[in-house]
């Protein structure tokens, strides 16, 4: 009754997250090289042989740059939307491309993966919930604002990767030009520490055992600052910083006895309206 999770890298220099059950696993995004992915997995006792698919959140290069070599070397299917494939211009064989739709679960062995839309400056961005062994894992990064869809899914997670990209004061007083600051905090960019903390404190379920704080900005945040901020409110949840320089340990997430049959959230009655923005500038 458990899943195994790890961050292989998290930040504007590359993103890659592992979720598996011991027999099969998936990667959500692959924004570091194939060789570095293999090295990092080996260091924490994981093998690419267990990886059965790659799921792609959106087309920005820090999420897709490793896909062509990984997919070719290991003959992996790549689950991606048509718009993300087009705007990402990813060089993979057509027979390895499988499109997905929001709120329609995809089964990979004993894992069920469900996507839902989010606010971000990309063509067709999605977050994911991975369910297996009665455990829900959320991958919630590159989110411009904490919309109702994020809140709905966060409430069902035993563990989650949640973006905490920037400290508001550091961003405001930092060296970025005004237009870039406004893009980051403008509703289709990234979540601030304050926004992420509000999601966590208001909406975490009592059984959430692990929270990975992800996609921290190199220039506008501090791992020490984020760790201290969330530790003060952590309760029984272990707080882990997903580094932009190295992999985390592998964490074992178990279902709790009082939540043995937690289902995936269903489609919201309120559609998430996203205005596409296809910029590729990655300075965050």
**Residue boundaries of the structural domains of the chain:** 2-254
pTM for the complete prediction?
Answer: 0.91
Where does the pLDDT of residue 246 fall: very low under 50, low under 70, confident under 90, or very high at 90 and above? very high
**Tokens 């590359």 map to which residue?**
14
Residue predicted with more confidence, 279 or 199? 199
Q: List helix spans (H) across 79-205.
A: 82-88, 148-154, 168-173, 178-184, 193-203
What pLDDT does 265 receive? 53
Residue 282 confidence (pLDDT) above 70: no
What six digits make up the tokens of 248? 């985390």
Under the banding of pLDDT at 50, 70 and 90, the label for residue 256 is: confident
pLDDT digits (tens, 9 = 90+) for 77-105: 999 999 999 999 999 999 999 999 999 99
Q: Is 242's pLDDT higher than 80? A: yes
Q: In sequence order, what are the residues at sequence separation of 6 or more whose Cβ sits closer than 8 angstroms to the Cβ of residue 228?
A: none
Residue carrying structure tokens 């920005």 = 60
Q: What angle do CA 9, 216, 224 make, to 5 degrees?
A: 105
Average pLDDT in the chain: 91
Strand order in the sheet with 238-241: 106-108, 111-117, 126-132, 135-140, 159-163, 210-214, 238-241
Confidence of residue 52 (pLDDT cuts 50, 70, 90): very high
The yes or no reply on domain 2-254 and CATH 3.60.15.10 is yes
Taking the C-alpha atoms of residue 154 and residue 139, their distance in angstroms, rounded to an integer, is: 9
pLDDT at 262: 46
């Amino acid at each position: 009754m458990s899943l195994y999770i790890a961050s292989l890298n998290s930040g504007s220099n590359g993103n890659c997250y592992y979720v598996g059950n011991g027999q099969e696993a998936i990667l959500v995004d692959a924004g570091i090289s194939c060789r570095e992915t293999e090295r990092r997995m080996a260091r924490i006792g994981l093998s690419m042989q267990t990886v059965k698919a790659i799921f792609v959140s959106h087309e920005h290069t820090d999420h897709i740059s490793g896909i062509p070599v990984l997919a070719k070397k290991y003959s992996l299917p790549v689950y991606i939307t048509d718009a993300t494939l087009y705007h990402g211009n990813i060089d993979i064989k057509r027979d390895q491309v499988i499109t997905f739709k929001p709120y329609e679960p995809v089964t990979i062995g004993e894992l069920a993966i469900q996507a839902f839309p989010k606010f971000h400056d990309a063509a067709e961005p999605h977050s994911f919930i991975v369910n297996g062994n009665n455990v829900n894992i959320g991958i919630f990064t590159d989110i411009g604002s904490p919309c109702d869809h994020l809140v709905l899914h966060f409430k069902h997670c035993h563990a989650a990767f949640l973006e905490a990209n920037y400290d508001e004061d550091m961003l405001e007083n930092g060296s970025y030009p005004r237009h870039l600051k406004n893009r980051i905090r403008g509703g289709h960019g990234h979540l601030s520490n304050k926004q992420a903390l509000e999601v966590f404190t208001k909406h975490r379920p009592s059984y959430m055992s692990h929270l990975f704080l992800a996609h921290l900005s190199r220039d506008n945040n501090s791992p020490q600052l984020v760790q201290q901020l969330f530790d003060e409110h952590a309760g029984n949840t272990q707080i882990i910083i997903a580094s932009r320089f190295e992999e985390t340990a592998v964490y074992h997430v178990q279902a709790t006895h009082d939540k043995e049959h937690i289902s995936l959230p269903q489609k919201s009655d309120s559609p998430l309206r996203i205005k596409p923005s296809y910029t590729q500038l990655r300075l965050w």
